[in-house]
């Protein structure tokens, strides 16, 4: 399609250039028109080719002329002048026929006028279309655009030019007082962000588009919060790249996600510190196909490791991340291995063969309700899998071992949280008897991870509801997957051994409010369009999660989003004896006794009985 348009423009250019020279002959040599025109006809093909080549060299066939500016205009002038100079030389050469100099000069000037003139007329025509009123129909979406800058202008122009999209830009919003009352492509700027709810109601807006690619996280979250007070669907332009690439189009607009609502600024990393312990090293990531593990692999790949080993029991997950990394980092030495951290012999083979320098341990069973029903599997995988990995890492003199933990390990009320707390204890105890630096990084929920509430809520909304929440008062901490992975790498750079690093999760979020937000962001009304059903707490589920135990204390690091808790456990000898007892109980299949043994090892573990769960659910509304 593009090539045919270029050919048509070239044909029009040839016609315009020849018309310019014929006009020049008529103007400058009125009495000799037939004679000079005959001479010109012998050279017109050569001159046409000269002009086309010059236009091509000046990139006149690469411009979108309905969006032309000064740069395109100057290129057009330059192309015509160069072609005119070469034409004068050609007509005075051995190959050409002598056309009067005044004809060539005037022809060049008229060529500039004709060739650029029809392009400018086309631009004026396209711009005029923008101001012709829409033929309104009931299926058009009435749009408010927040941001009267370059992105907003691009979006308005495309909505008006591509009417088949059925977008009708009604009003602009901008915080710049100097822009108030002005118009962009016929659309009036009627207020600032605080006027959004009133104007949206008054103008019967269906869709609000935030078109401020350079906006910071805090202001973005504030505008989204204001927009939630309307019944409009909310969308946003992703980022500054779209403006820089000239690609801020309707197709680039995306729905607002909870990532936008969190209002978290980009992480500032000590790239030098991270690079020092990753670059040129062999890195092993267990659970590398999972949500956190795969993102760790992406982030690690940036720092040029000698070899990245992805280890996971689930082949489908690692297959996806393997293909992605091969495409994005074709020169990286990537090894993908299938196996379980329960299999110590398999781990020994890996450490012996590949001489691992750094371990990131992300492999774990993490789903609370599932692990309550299968506590033995949680203990086998999380506890003894971590123990196997830690022992092999220590025997292999691995430099650093970073374990991914969870806020559910703090005063746990479920078996999953208890196993993760026990893993932390293993890590701290191992650090005291090994040359390997063992550390853990603790954080809460990550948005978009496998099995998180966000995909579930979105699916329920798409199906028309209801959206199910376990308790109206339940609160959780959230952060983004890339943010968590970056901070894990940064915490690893701070490691001296034995620490539990705690990530700044921001403000806790009520899950019920989160469900309401997702419904509102879809342009729907909670409990009117989509019902929210409170189902009651599940076994082992807490109303509130904590990031720190009281005895751990909390100290700052040089990074404002990473804190460190004091080591609270050091006795590997006594722990080993208790773990042996736990291993024996797993063989007996006595779940009650297994939980009692877990409580002996992890004193902060308190598993709720049915009466306690029922009491909390009595207040679930």
Query: Terminal CA-to-CA distance of the chain, rounded, Å?
Result: 60
SS (H, E, C) 100-133: CHHHHHHHHHHHHHHHHHHHHHHHHHHHHHHHCC
168, β-bridge pairs: 142
Catalytic pick among 281, 366, 408, 542 = 408
Write the CA distances from 258 to 196, 235, 262, 489, 519, integer angstroms. Answer: 20, 12, 6, 24, 11
- As given in the structure block, the two tokens for residue 100 are 């009067």
Cα pseudo-dihedral 510, 514, 520, 522, rounded to 10: 180
- Unique residue bearing structure tokens 């279309």: 129
SS (H, E, C) 561-601: CEEEECCCCCCHHHHHHHHHHHHHHHHHCCHHHHHHHHHHH
- Taking a C-beta distance cutoff of 8 angstroms, is the pair 468, 499 a contact? no
Write the CA distances from 539 to 175, 417, 542, 618, integer angstroms. Answer: 49, 13, 9, 14
Q: What is the DSSP letter of 544?
A: S
CA distance 113 to 214: 39
- Taking a C-beta distance cutoff of 8 angstroms, is the pair 505, 480 a contact? no
Q: What is the DSSP letter of 435?
A: S
**Is 408 known to be catalytic?**
yes
Which residues are CB-neighbours of 253 under 8 A, at least 6 positions away? 155, 209, 235, 236, 237
Query: Crossing angle, helix 591-601 and helix 572-588, to 10 degrees?
Result: 170
Distance of CA 180 to the CA centre of its chain: 33
Long-range contact set of residues 276-279: C-beta below 8 Å, sequence gap at least 24 = 276/493, 277/358, 277/399, 277/400, 277/492, 277/493, 278/303, 278/304, 278/305, 278/358, 278/489, 279/303, 279/304, 279/305
Q: Report the candidate in 562, 364, 553 with the shortest Cα–Cα distance to residue 479.
A: 562
Which residues are CB-neighbours of 414 under 8 A, at least 6 positions away? 368, 371, 372, 408, 539, 540, 541, 542, 607
Write the burial class of residue 2 (CB in 10 Å: 0-12 exposed, 13-18 middle, 19+ buried): exposed
Which residues are CB-neighbours of 98 under 8 A, at least 6 positions away? 39, 91, 92
Q: Is the dihedral of CA 407, 294, 243, 236 positive or negative?
A: negative
The catalytic residues are: 408
């Amino acid at each position: 399609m593009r090539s045919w348009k270029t050919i048509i423009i070239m044909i029009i250019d040839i016609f315009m250039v020849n018309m310019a020279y014929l006009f020049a002959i008529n103007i400058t040599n009125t009495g000799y028109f037939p004679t000079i025109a005959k001479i010109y006809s012998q050279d017109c093909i050569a001159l046409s080719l000269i002009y086309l080549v010059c236009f091509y060299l000046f990139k006149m066939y690469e411009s979108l002329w309905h969006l032309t500016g000064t740069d395109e205009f100057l290129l057009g002038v330059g192309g015509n002048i160069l072609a005119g100079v070469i034409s004068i030389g050609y007509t005075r050469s051995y190959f050409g026929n002598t056309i009067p100099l005044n004809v060539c000069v005037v022809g060049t000037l008229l060529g500039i006028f004709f060739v650029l003139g029809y392009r400018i007329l086309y631009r004026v025509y396209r711009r005029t279309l923008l101001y012709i009123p829409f033929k309104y129909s009931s299926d058009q979406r009435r749009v408010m655009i927040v941001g009267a800058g370059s992105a907003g202008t691009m979006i308005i122009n495309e909505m008006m030019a591509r009417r088949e999209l059925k977008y009708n830009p009604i009003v602009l919003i901008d915080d710049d007082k100097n822009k108030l009352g002005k118009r962009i492509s016929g659309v009036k700027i009627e207020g600032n962000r605080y006027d959004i709810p009133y104007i949206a109601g008054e103008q019967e807006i269906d869709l609000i588009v935030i078109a401020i690619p350079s906006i910071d996280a805090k202001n973005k979250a504030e505008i989204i919060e204001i927009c939630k007070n309307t019944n409009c669907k909310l969308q946003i332009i992703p980022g500054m790249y779209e403006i820089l690439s000239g690609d801020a189009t309707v197709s680039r607009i995306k729905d607002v996600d909870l990532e936008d609502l969190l209002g978290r600024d980009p992480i500032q990393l000590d790239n030098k510190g991270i690079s020092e312990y990753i670059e040129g090293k062999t890195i092993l990531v267990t659970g590398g196909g999972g949500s956190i593990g795969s993102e760790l692999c992406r982030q690690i790949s940036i720092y040029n490791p000698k070899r990245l080993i992805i280890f996971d029991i689930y082949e489908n997950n690692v297959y996806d991340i393997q293909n992605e990394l091969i495409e994005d980092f074709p020169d990286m030495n990537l090894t993908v291995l299938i196996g379980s951290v329960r299999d110590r012999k398999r781990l020994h083979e890996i450490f012996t063969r590949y001489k691992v320098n750094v371990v990131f341990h992300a492999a774990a069973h993490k789903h609370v309700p599932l692990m309550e029903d299968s506590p033995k599997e949680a203990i086998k995988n999380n506890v003894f899998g971590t123990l196997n990995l830690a022992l092999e890492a220590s025997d292999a003199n691995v430099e650093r071992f970073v374990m991914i933990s969870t806020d559910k390990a703090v005063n746990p009320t479920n078996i999953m949280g208890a196993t993760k707390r026990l893993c932390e204890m293993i890590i701290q105890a191992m650090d005291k008897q090994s040359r390997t630096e063992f550390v853990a990084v603790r954080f809460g929920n990550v948005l978009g991870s496998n099995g998180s509430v966000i995909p579930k809520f979105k699916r329920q909304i798409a199906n028309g509801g209801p959206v199910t929440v376990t308790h109206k008062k339940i609160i959780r901490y959230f952060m983004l997957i890339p943010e968590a992975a970056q901070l894990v790498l940064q915490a690893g750079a701070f490691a001296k051994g034995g620490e539990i690093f705690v990530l700044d999760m921001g403000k806790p979020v009520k899950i019920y409010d989160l469900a309401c937000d997702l419904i509102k962001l879809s342009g729907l009304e909670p409990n009117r369009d989509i019902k929210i059903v409170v189902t009651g707490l599940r076994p082992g589920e807490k109303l509130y999660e904590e990031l720190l135990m009281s005895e751990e204390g909390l100290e700052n690091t040089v990074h404002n989003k990473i804190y460190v808790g004091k080591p609270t456990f050091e006795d590997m000898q006594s722990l080993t004896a208790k773990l042996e007892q736990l291993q024996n109980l797993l063989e007996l299949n006595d779940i009650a006794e297994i939980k009692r043994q877990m409580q002996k090892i992890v004193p902060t573990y308190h598993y709720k009985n049915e009466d306690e769960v029922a009491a909390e659910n009595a207040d679930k509304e």
